[in-house]
């Protein structure tokens, strides 16, 4: 089969790596790809949101299946366009992808289908939003309604900080069109976990659990980022909680969307908070998470290409999906200044040494080729990912590999997976 993968980040590198293992794969194209992906696929110089160009390429090359990595083309309707042209494409439709594209819409669906979540209210003007804030207690959760590259959520510790965030989003439009509406939520106390599933619109196959690390510094300090690392499994997600998440979150959403005439196909990502009162949904995403994809796919023993095809064809119930009992850990190496800025053009060395460790893959996120050298080209640069028998062993392996990599100003957290160890993950 000829496959086109859309995207060019760390998530897509991990997806390309897994797709490349399929015996059914004849040719893999990735648009736009990155220098790491170029080692296993043919990169095509087409942006992930250039839907017309992607469609022309897929038609011209007789692509058998297109797999969409990032959220932006999904919310733009790439699946609808390809399907209308008679092409098979893995991912949700534009209307279904609104679960990620609009936090207000997502809240409406959760309320409609009885899915547990935080109390919230949406606003398009700052004055009523500020009035609403005055009746709340700290801390405050302020969210830009649309896509903001993982940076549209502000946790404000004081009323003044919350008011400033509202004014920045609605009045100053720091997030552009994504901030046309703001969602103000109650603050939930608990532990976060990422729970993803493959679905064909009716059948649902959960993935192994994972836990992301959003804050830039150790101990969950500093501003939110797109993700500084992740590990799988997450010990907080017990078998009992997995059953509850399936019955209270995944099944109601998939059945509800289908009942609305908007069948949801592809990947449904539920960001959960495990509270003293049970599971609460923080957000839904319409694709693989980044950096959760790296450890999750490291544990997938089945053929990802087969799974994607089954999702498109509605035969997921007939497809074998198995997972390794091993653990996997991804440590993100970021450039200087991230998340506020990123330093580009710094030479990267040591990747081959890092991948010399058995069980280690270094996935490229923000890299480029410059004068024959590999250099930094974004905020999150690399995702050093290790798989081993236990979380403790995977952590040690990942950080041994990280120590081999060098670039000017690099920063990374040194406590990825520590919470799993505290929960007894060293024995799992």
pLDDT tens string 248-284: 999 999 999 999 999 999 999 999 999 998 999 999 9
pLDDT at 428 over 50: no
Fold of the CATH domain 121-185: Dna Ligase; domain 1 (3.30.1490)
Question: DSSP strand E in 291-376: where?
Answer: 327-334, 360-364, 367-370, 373-376
Q: What pLDDT was estimated at residue 146?
A: 87
Confidence of residue 56 (pLDDT cuts 50, 70, 90): very high
Q: What pLDDT was estimated at residue 414?
A: 97
Please tell me whether residue 15 adopts helix, strand or coil conformation: helix
Domain segments of the chain: what residues? 2-90, 121-185, 191-427
Read off the pLDDT of residues 58-115 as tens digits, 9 standing for 90 and up: 999 999 999 999 999 999 999 999 999 999 999 999 999 999 999 989 999 999 999 9
Tell me the C-alpha distance between 131 and 344, whole Å.
Answer: 42
Read off the pLDDT of residues 333-351 as tens digits, 9 standing for 90 and up: 999 999 999 999 999 999 9
Tell me the C-alpha distance between 149 and 147, whole Å.
Answer: 6
Specify the CATH number of the domain 2-90.
3.40.50.20
pTM, rounded to two decimals:
0.93
Tell me the C-alpha distance between 404 and 381, whole Å.
Answer: 15
Confidence of residue 425 (pLDDT cuts 50, 70, 90): low
Fold of the CATH domain 191-427: D-amino Acid Aminotransferase; Chain A, domain 1 (3.30.470)
Query: What b/e sequence results for 87-113 when a residue is b if at least 16 CB atoms lie within 10 Å of its CB, and e otherwise?
Result: bbbbbbbbbbbbbbbbbbbbbebbeeb
Q: What pLDDT was estimated at residue 427?
A: 42
Instruction: State the chain's mean pLDDT as an integer.
Output: 95
Read off the pLDDT of residues 207-241 as tens digits, 9 standing for 90 and up: 999 999 999 999 999 988 889 999 999 999 999 99
C-beta separation of 396 from 359 below 8 A: no
Read off the pLDDT of residues 155-165 as tens digits, 9 standing for 90 and up: 889 999 999 99
- As a whole-number percent, the residues of the chain with pLDDT over 70 amount to 98
- As a whole-number percent, the residues of the chain with pLDDT over 90 amount to 85
């Amino acid at each position: 089969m000829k496959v086109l993968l859309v995207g060019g980040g760390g998530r897509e590198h991990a997806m390309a790596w897994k797709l490349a293992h399929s015996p059914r794969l004849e040719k893999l194209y990735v648009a736009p790809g990155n220098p790491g992906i170029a080692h296993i696929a043919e990169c095509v110089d087409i942006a992930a949101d250039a839907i017309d160009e992607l469609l022309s390429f897929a038609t011209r090359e007789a692509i058998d299946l297109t797999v969409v990595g990032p959220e932006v083309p999904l919310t733009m309707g790439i699946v609808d366009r390809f399907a209308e042209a008679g092409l098979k494409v893995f991912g949700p439709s534009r209307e279904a992808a609104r679960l990620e594209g609009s936090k207000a819409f997502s809240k409406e669906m959760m309320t409609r289908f009885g899915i547990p979540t935080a109390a919230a209210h949406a606003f398009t003007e700052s004055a009523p939003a500020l009035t609403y804030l005055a009746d709340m207690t700290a801390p405050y959760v302020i969210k830009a309604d649309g896509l903001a590259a993982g940076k549209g959520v502000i946790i404000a510790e004081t009323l003044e900080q919350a008011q400033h965030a509202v004014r920045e989003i609605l009045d100053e439009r720091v997030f552009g069109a994504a901030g046309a509406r703001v969602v103000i939520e109650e603050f939930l106390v608990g532990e976060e976990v990422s729970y993803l599933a493959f679905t064909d619109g009716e059948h649902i196959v959960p993935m192994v659990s994972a836990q992301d690390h959003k804050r830039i510094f150790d101990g969950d300090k500093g501003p939110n980022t797109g993700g500084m690392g992740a590990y799988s499994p997450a010990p907080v997600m017990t078998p009992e909680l997995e059953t509850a998440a399936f019955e209270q979150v995944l099944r109601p959403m998939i059945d509800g969307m289908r009942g609305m005439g908007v069948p949801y196909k592809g990947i449904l990502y539920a960001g959960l908070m495990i509270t003293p009162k049970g599971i609460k949904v923080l957000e839904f995403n319409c694709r693989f998470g980044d950096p959760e994809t790296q450890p999750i796919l490291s544990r997938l023993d089945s053929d990802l290409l087969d799974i994607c095809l089954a999702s498109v064809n509605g035969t997921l119930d007939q497809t074998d999906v198995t997972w390794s009992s091993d653990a996997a850990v991804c440590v993100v190496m970021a450039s200087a200044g991230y998340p506020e800025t990123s330093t580009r053009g710094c030479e990267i060395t040591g990747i081959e040494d890092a991948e010399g460790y058995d069980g280690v893959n270094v996935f490229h996120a923000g890299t480029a080729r410059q004068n024959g050298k590999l250099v930094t080209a974004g905020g999150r640069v690399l995702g050093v990912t290790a798989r081993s028998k236990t979380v403790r062993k995977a952590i040690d392996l990942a950080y041994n590999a990280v120590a081999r990599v060098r670039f000017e100003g690099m920063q990374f957290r040194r406590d990825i997976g520590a919470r799993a160890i505290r929960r007894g993950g060293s024995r799992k």
